[in-house]
Chain A
Amino acid sequence: MTRHRGRGMAAINYPIGMNLGGDPSQALVHSNPSGKFTVALSSIDLGQGMKSVTRQICAETLGVPVEDVYVDTADSDTGPHCMGSFASRGTHRVGNAVMAAAKEARGVMMEAAAEELEVNAADLETDGRGNIHVKGAPHRAISVKDVAIAAQFRQGKTISGRGIFLVPLSDVDPETGEMSPATCYAHACLVAEVEVDDETGEVGVIRMDSAYELGRALNPRLVEQQLVGGAWMGMSHALYETTEPYYPDPRQGPRDFVEYLMPGPGDICPHDIAVLERPAPDGPFGGKGPGEMCANPVLPALANAIFNAVGVRIDELPITPEKVLRAIRAQGGARPQTRR
């Protein structure tokens, strides 16, 4: 029995948002009389951090601290339409809608502040800490809270904004497939190192090194969550998961987590990640969307690493020990390739 090490890599790109566009999202932003803002969405947070990333986008656009913004999601009576949380569209589509709504609300806020300070709104700026002051004259300032009170009770203004973001729907040419599928793309390259046991066919993942380009990383901790969790899912897809182990034979489908295999906490490996930020021209602060694409390079990188380790190509997923072992036997034993 020998355990063979091997390395493989893969590079990918990923379209952001629903293919062809035509997938709008809306947002509403308003202030209460204390200068605290609520973002109303019908978008969904299924763990990816929708509430958190839109909160930061809103705070940045308004020029207020993030603690002064709260995002309320997914009530169809209060949240305006959103296509949904899928297709890596949350950050890009909903983020842009929130940005537009916050911009409109900021416009009203600055007008109201200008009236209080008796200056032109164009001469004002926010300090990001909850105050608005005259550019170059920080002492001529008013707090966002006082602006909100004045707007509500004296000026009769609503500090609020509406936003929608829509990439217009693209046609598809039936003959050539000419189309505008997406406005921006995320990118990645991942190197995986594996250890393959030529007696059992088992594949252990030793480590991963990767580079992901995601537009601006709006919140690096959220990005890290997606990339680490997504790589785990990619590893799981590559080596473990299927609802039909002998597809297209529909039998032997798993019924529970005992039969449906996924790597556990003891099967994971160190993963060293670099994040590159080439801002998307139409993304909110240049953001794209890391959610889906992070799993994709792992599958082929592992398959390629297995080839490097033992010289077998497994072109059918998942790459189970059974498949690896049969392939090794079919070629008369492991044939390690040039070590990388």
Chain B
Amino acid sequence: MNIIVCVKQIPDPANPGALDGNNALKRDGKLILDESDSYGVEMALQLVDAAGGGEVNLVSMAPNSETAGLRTALAMGAAKAVLVSDPALQGSDALTTAKILAAAVQRLGGADLIIAATESSDGYTGTVPEQMAEVLGLPSVTFAKKVSIEGGVLKADRQTEEGYDEVTCPLPALISVTAGVVEPRYPSFKGIMAAKSKPVEEVKASDLGVTPVGWDGAGQKITSVTQAEARAAGEVIEDDGEAFGKIVAFLEGLKVI
């Protein structure tokens, strides 16, 4: 059982985001593994364990040869990674990103299963996994919140508006997993040390044969960035044991109680 996990390396969400001169999200500082992707890495490691053998490999697209987030996933137990890092990719839209990641998957020789998060925690476009499945000609199960593989067939509970669907799908396939699908492990010290020497192959868009990319390949252009009308803060009080009364009075004022 070989599984490839798509991981994104993003600016730390704990820090306020900012835009650069091209109105793209600034990514020049230190990047970290998107927490949403840690669930996919964990899921992959568990599925490979359950299958009794195989490898978990990674694909990622990031600027400045960034590997900090990849090393975290390698420290969790992934074997190797392909990193696509290329200044030409700046400004790429979701479709180009999907083409690039699909090509990176093929560079690793494909896999029985490809796992991604449902969306990244910085850009939130939320279409890349399903776009990758279409580029690769694979079936997909998106928004999986429970996953198992029995006899070469994937079984998943897929989140829906009203509840969930049980879905079966033969391999090879692509799935996107919701956060919380499994409990991600913390990398051990041994894992962190081992990750430093695990192979990360860095490639450019041209190595993957994907053109056009970046701003040129994007079917979109940012035309304006404006500040939304700010919502004014109201009264803030310290609880002295009686603050609940303020809430009651507020609700009375609104005539909802």
A and B: interacting chains: no
